[in-house]
């Protein structure tokens, strides 16, 4: 039988993708083996960049820690809040449609643009947050205190992306079969028991998918940091992406930035694979 | 216009889904593929349709190497067990689809489709959406669509298995009419099923399939009367034929303390030890019979199926009324010795009530 | 027990609603302010706390020569790039997704799931990794600061999404429908276009929506790869974020740029209620 059609379907997309990617990827690898900066051209220095990265650059690894902290925290918050919201608007409730649309809106906005607004919102002297808090004698330095800056970033990220979790989880809830719930009702299960033993386990596969997807996206966090804090104060909100950005496009150490990028990529792929497997074991065993 | 296959084999994983299957299907006939679940029926049908390519073997149709002909160029039609229709089209469009594909003129399409819908009892349903129909109606639409092409080979893969009992009976009747009227004499109909009664009712040539191998081929009556092996006897009877390990001693059949006279048709058996076969319907409750203990009583429709044990012997008997029994009750049963089958220890039929033997 | 739960539920929803709406309201009031209203400290309600002015909004209409902010052109640029890239991504991605769902591929040790993973893994790459190479790549073929160059790059961003959603969706459409189409005389291409595709509209809509959302919100690639000739909306707005630009024009521009996608929110919700979204997730 003629199997040519198999390839006719697959190849256009695959080839276009590979075609567009191939030069950049090879170039990144090549670049990482060079010392391209404002002085040198495309020379060849072997693994020097990588050696420097692994032995002499604590800032990179710190940025990784910060990234892990920020992304894991935001994803957990988004998951918990998103699930709670989805659960609440799942069944009939007053103004159900209104709330559903409302809760979706933040995701539809351009993060960068909203962050511009957040900057004015959290402005330490002219913004509304501190204005209200001053009535309680507080005036937190949202954008200039290292710890608070992290919190501000988390708040903005949670605002922006919880709807994404909310959407995926609500869609999941709506697709659940009715039978287990009927059985639970017959057994006289309380709402809490119903949730722990019926709802949550049934949602496990979807939860895993949603968390992984959000982790992938959250780890790329860049826009928010760029506009809100520029990685600051100091380096307190500097994520890996941002550090690579600084090295590459501000200090023009392109070769070194490339080696960081490549290392970052490998680490991300490995850790995401592990996280996916780990989550699967954890949630699907319950 | 025969469909001839030789030694088709298909082994996608550890097991053979088809194991050296050969057949010779002649036009104008109905063939029933009888086998249990996972015996290879669907695989066989899909291979004939061209949806699967066998690893080995040959298949010819109309003097062409059929294996080289792509699915869409084979003149076939198929009805699945899961009522498959095009969800985005209404009933009329569903049935008209293959004709439109052949670029047949619209007037002609209209006539043929309406005629086909009529023959399956769906007159007036043309504009309905598929999702609005019941299971039985959806299956009829599938059937109408398969008939409308006047295909040379019509494949039906357990088409009734997902319908309720009553509907199944009804459609089974209708099938026979539909096949004789709706199809030309040029067509080959291949119908697969797990239900021996369906095979008997269709009354075509039966191919018994198990684990991808053809066990026996013959008219339905022949399969019923003279099953070639124990396996065939198992597959072609519902409930399965009772098999008892017995031996002959001083001219009597003995097992579990029971002695029975040897009926005439078994008098020529050579082996002392053999497998005795007797159908559930050929065992009766009797006051003067042999004592067995009730293990389970199943009510099936208007029958009762009684699972009995005596020592290591287990049998099933069917009673034509609904009766209540408790586990461990003792009952007395009698065997109709004229309906005894004898299979050698190897499993091959040595002697049957109808005179058949494969030794 | 029930009453407590209800109270908590509505409190939570109220708090979150306030949280969601807060920045919008703030931006709205701020857009009507002027220098005095902003610098005295935070002010909220127009006419009560401050004198509303239309300065922030007028700026959007005035041409750049008069000190205005032109957001019309960036608007349409964003629209054009996002829609074109989404369209191409969906077309190519859907075809590939169909192949990955229905056929088996094996090239050495590379199998279907690996190829699917390859597509989806493109999302793991942070924009920064690819931005420098793309910068040089587009520069070499003279496509920097061009709409087409940006579209090419966006395809890399969006095709994985299309593939992810459509593979999942196609896996849920029974193969038997394709098979029946083949038996009815369709070759595989016709089977796809005449039978599978018409039944995939919900999946396509979901894929389309996600592509458009993720394409529209991109900032980084537009930032790196365009300068003056071509400007996209997010970049334009951020450029206004320098300390010179007054808060009121900033807020007005921001609100206007964010408004359109809210329509998408309505579409998504409608689809959710119809139960069509659920098939695409997982």
Please, which pLDDT band fits residue C277 given cuts at 50, 70 and 90? very low
HEC assignment per residue over C142-195: CCCCCHHHHHHHHHHHHHHHHHHHHHHHHHHCCHHHHHHHHHCCCCHHHHHHHH
Among A143-147, A281-285, C200-204, C221-225, name the most confident range.
C200-204
Whether A85 and C38 lie within 8 Å, measured CB to CB = no
Q: Give the CA dihedral B323, B327, B329, B330, nearest 10 degrees.
A: 100
Whether A2 and B70 lie within 8 Å, measured CB to CB = yes
Whether B72 and C199 lie within 8 Å, measured CB to CB = no
- How distant is the Cα of C165 from the closest Cα of chain B, in angstroms? 21
d(CA C85, CA C88): 5
Q: Find, in chain C, the residue whose alpha carbon is nearest to that of B95.
A: C184
Write out chain A residues lying below 8 Å of B70, CB-based: 1-2
The domain ranges of chain B are 3-228, 232-351
Whether A2 and B53 lie within 8 Å, measured CB to CB = no
Per-residue pLDDT tens for C82-135?
899 999 999 999 999 998 888 877 776 677 777 877 887 788 887 877 777 788
What is the percent of chain C with per-residue pLDDT over 90, rounded to a whole number? 12
d(CA C112, CA C101): 8
Strand B30-34 versus strand B205-210 pairing type: parallel
Per-residue pLDDT tens for B214-273?
999 999 999 999 999 999 998 999 888 999 888 888 778 888 888 888 888 888 777 788
pLDDT for C1: 57
Residue A171 pLDDT greater than 90, yes or no:
no
Torsion-angle region of residue B246: left (phi > 0), alpha (psi -120 to 50) or beta?
beta
B258 three-state secondary structure: strand
Report which DSSP code applies to C126.
-
Residues 6 or more apart whose Cβ sits within 8 Å of residue C192: A9, C98, C178
Q: Please name the member of B72, B102, B145 whose beta carbon is closest to the beta carbon of C187.
A: B72
Residue with the larger pLDDT of the pair A276 and A61? A61
d(CA C194, CA C187): 10
d(CA B304, CA B242): 16
Chain A from 2 to 21: CB within 8 A of any B CB = 2
Residue with the larger pLDDT of the pair C31 and A14? A14
- How distant is the Cα of A49 from the closest Cα of chain C, in angstroms? 16
Average pLDDT, chain A: 82
Write out chain A residues lying below 8 Å of B50, CB-based: 1
Lowest mean pLDDT among A163-177, C52-66, C126-140, C158-172: C52-66
d(CA B209, CA B38): 10
- How distant is the Cα of A264 from the closest Cα of chain C, in angstroms? 9
The radius of gyration computed from the CA coordinates of chain B, to the nearest angstrom, equals 24
Please, which pLDDT band fits residue C231 given cuts at 50, 70 and 90? low
Residues 6 or more apart whose Cβ sits within 8 Å of residue C61: C68
Question: Among A108, A120, A110, A128, which residue's Cα sits nearest to residue C56?
Answer: A120
Q: Which of the four CATH numbers 2.60.120.10, 3.40.50.2000, 2.40.50.140, 3.50.50.60 does domain B232-351 have? A: 2.40.50.140
Per-residue pLDDT tens for C241-268?
665 567 777 777 777 777 777 787 888 7
Alpha helix stretches (DSSP H) within B120-260: 135-148, 165-182, 196-202, 220-225, 230-235
DSSP-assigned states of every residue in B215-253: EEEEEHHHHHH--SBHHHHHHTSSSPPEEEEEEEETTEE
Strand partners, B275: B245, B343
pLDDT for C282: 35
d(CA A148, CA A143): 7
Q: What are the tokens at A50?
A: 């990588």
The residues of chain B scoring below 70 in pLDDT are: 181-184
What is the percent of chain A with per-residue pLDDT over 70, rounded to a whole number? 97
Question: Among C41, C44, C31, which residue's Cα sits nearest to residue C240?
Answer: C31
DSSP-assigned states of every residue in C36-74: HHHHTS---SBTTTB---SHHHHHHHS-GGGT----HHH
The dihedral of CA B36, B40, B43, B44: what is its sign?
negative
The dihedral of CA A27, A28, A32, A36: what is its sign?
positive
The radius of gyration computed from the CA coordinates of chain C, to the nearest angstrom, equals 24
Average pLDDT, chain C: 79
Question: Among B273, B233, B277, which residue's Cα sits nearest to residue B254?
Answer: B273
Place of tokens 């394709």: C178
Write out chain C residues lying below 8 Å of B84, CB-based: 174, 176-177, 180
| In CATH, B3-228 is 1.10.10.10 | no
d(CA B49, CA B27): 16
C25, C33, C100, C124, best to mutate vs chain A, most A CBs in 10 Å: C124
Residue C281 pLDDT greater than 70, yes or no:
no
Report yes or no: C258 and A116 within 8 Å, Cβ to Cβ.
no
- How distant is the Cα of A235 from the closest Cα of chain C, in angstroms? 18
Cα-to-chain-centroid distance, residue A251 = 26
B126 three-state secondary structure: coil
Write out chain C residues lying below 8 Å of B102, CB-based: 185
Residue A284 pLDDT greater than 70, yes or no:
no
pLDDT for C275: 57
Please, which pLDDT band fits residue A108 given cuts at 50, 70 and 90? confident
pLDDT for A1: 43
What's the complex ipTM?
0.82
- How distant is the Cα of A95 from the closest Cα of chain C, in angstroms? 12
Longest Cα–Cα distance of chain C, Å, equals 77
Residue C66 pLDDT greater than 80, yes or no:
no
pLDDT for B162: 85
Residues 6 or more apart whose Cβ sits within 8 Å of residue A163: A82, A103, A104, A105, A106, A107, A108
Q: What domains can you pick out in chain C, each with its CATH number? A: 3-63 (no CATH), 65-274 (1.10.3720.10)
């Amino acid at each position: 039988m003629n199997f040519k059609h198999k390839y006719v379907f697959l190849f256009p997309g695959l080839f276009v993708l590979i075609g567009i990617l191939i030069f950049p990827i090879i170039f990144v690898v090549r670049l990482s083996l060079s010392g391209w900066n404002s002085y040198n051209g495309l020379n060849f220095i072997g693994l020097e960049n990588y050696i420097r990265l692994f032995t002499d650059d604590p800032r990179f690894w710190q940025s990784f820690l910060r990234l892990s902290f920020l992304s894991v925290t935001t994803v957990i918050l988004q998951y918990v809040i998103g699930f709670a919201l989805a659960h609440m608007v799942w069944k009939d409730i007053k103004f159900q449609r209104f709330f559903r649309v409302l809760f979706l809106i933040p995701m539809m906005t351009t993060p960068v643009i909203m962050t511009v607004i957040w900057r004015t919102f959290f402005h330490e002297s002219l913004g509304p947050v501190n204005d209200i808090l001053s009535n309680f004698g507080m005036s937190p330095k949202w954008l200039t205190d290292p710890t608070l800056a992290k919190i501000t970033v988390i708040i903005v990220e949670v605002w922006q992306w919880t709807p994404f979790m909310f959407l995926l989880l609500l869609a999941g809830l709506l697709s659940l079969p009715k039978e287990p719930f009927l059985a639970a009702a017959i057994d006289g299960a309380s709402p809490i028991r119903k949730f722990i033993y019926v709802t949550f386990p049934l949602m496990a596969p979807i939860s895993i998918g949603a968390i992984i997807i959000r982790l992938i996206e959250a780890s790329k966090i860049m826009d928010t940091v760029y506009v809100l804090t520029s990685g600051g104060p100091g380096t307190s909100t500097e994520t890996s992406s941002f550090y690579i950005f600084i090295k590459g496009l501000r200090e023009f150490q392109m070769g070194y930035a490339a080696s960081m990028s490549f290392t970052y990529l490998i680490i991300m792929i490995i850790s995401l694979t592990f996280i996916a497997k780990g989550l699967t074991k954890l949630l699907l065993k319950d | 216009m025969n469909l001839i296959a030789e030694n088709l084999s298909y082994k996608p994983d550890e097991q053979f889904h088809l194991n050296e299957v050969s057949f010779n299907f002649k036009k104008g006939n109905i063939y029933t593929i009888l086998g249990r679940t996972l015996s290879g029926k669907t695989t066989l049908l899909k291979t004939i349709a061209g949806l699967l390519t066998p690893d080995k073997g040959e298949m010819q149709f109309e003097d062409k190497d059929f294996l080289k002909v792509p699915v869409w160029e084979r003149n076939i039609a198929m009805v699945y067990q899961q009522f498959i229709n095009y969800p985005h089209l209404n009933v009329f469009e569903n049935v008209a689809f293959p004709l439109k594909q052949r670029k047949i003129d619209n007037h002609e399409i209209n006539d043929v489709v309406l005629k086909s819908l009529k023959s399956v009892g769906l007159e007036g349903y043309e504009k309905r959406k598929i999702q609005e129909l019941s299971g039985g109606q959806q299956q009829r639409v599938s059937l109408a669509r398969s008939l409308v092409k006047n295909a040379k080979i019509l494949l039906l893969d357990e088409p009734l298995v997902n319908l309720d009992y009553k509907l199944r009976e009804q459609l089974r009747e209708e099938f026979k009419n539909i096949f004789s009227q709706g199809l030309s004499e040029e067509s080959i109909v291949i119908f697969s099923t797990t239900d021996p009664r369906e095979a008997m009712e269709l009354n075509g040539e039966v191919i018994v399939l198990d684990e991808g191998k053809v066990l026996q081929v013959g008219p339905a009556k022949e399969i019923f009367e003279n099953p070639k092996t124990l396996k065939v006897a198992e597959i072609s009877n519902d409930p399965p034929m009772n098999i008892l390990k017995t031996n002959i001693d001083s001219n009597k059949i003995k097992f579990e303390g029971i002695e029975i006279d040897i009926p005439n048709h078994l008098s020529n058996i050579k082996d002392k030890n053999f497998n005795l076969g007797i159908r559930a319907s050929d065992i009766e409750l009797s006051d003067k019979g042999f004592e067995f203990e009730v293990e389970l009583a199943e009510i099936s429709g208007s029958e009762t199926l009684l699972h009995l044990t005596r020592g290591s012997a287990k049998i099933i008997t069917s009673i034509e009324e609904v009766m209540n029994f408790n586990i461990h009750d003792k009952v007395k049963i009698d065997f109709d010795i004229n309906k005894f089958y004898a299979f050698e220890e190897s499993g091959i039929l040595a002697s049957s009530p109808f005179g058949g033997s494969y030794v | 027990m029930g009453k407590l739960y209800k109270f908590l539920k509505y409190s939570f929803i109220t708090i979150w609603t306030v949280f969601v709406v807060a920045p919008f309201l703030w931006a709205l009031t701020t857009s009507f302010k002027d220098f005095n209203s902003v610098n005295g400290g935070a002010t909220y309600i127009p006419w009560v706390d401050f004198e509303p002015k239309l300065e922030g909004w007028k700026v959007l209409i005035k041409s750049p020569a008069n000190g205005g902010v032109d957001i019309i052109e960036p608007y349409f640029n964003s629209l054009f790039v996002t829609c074109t890239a989404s369209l191409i991504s969906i077309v190519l991605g859907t075809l590939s997704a169909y192949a990955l769902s229905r056929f088996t591929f094996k090239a050495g040790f590379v199998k279907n799931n690996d190829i699917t993973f390859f597509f989806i893994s493109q999302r793991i790459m942070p924009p920064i990794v690819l931005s420098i190479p793309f910068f040089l790549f587009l520069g070499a073929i003279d496509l920097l600061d061009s709409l087409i160059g940006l579209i090419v790059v966006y395809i890399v961003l969006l095709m994985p999404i299309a593939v992810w959603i459509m593979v999942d969706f196609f896996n849920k459409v029974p193969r038997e429908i394709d098979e029946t189409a083949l038996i009815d005389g369709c070759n595989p291409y016709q089977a796809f276009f005449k039978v599978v595709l018409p039944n995939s509209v919900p999946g396509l809509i979901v894929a389309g929506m996600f592509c458009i959302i993720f394409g529209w919100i991109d900032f980084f690639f537009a930032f790196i790869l365009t300068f003056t000739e071509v400007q996209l909306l997010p970049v334009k707005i951020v450029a206004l974020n320098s300390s010179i630009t007054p808060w009121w024009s900033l807020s007005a521009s921001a609100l206007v740029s964010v408004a359109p996608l809210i329509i998408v929110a309505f579409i998504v919700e409608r689809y959710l209620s119809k139960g069509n979204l659920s098939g695409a997730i997982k």
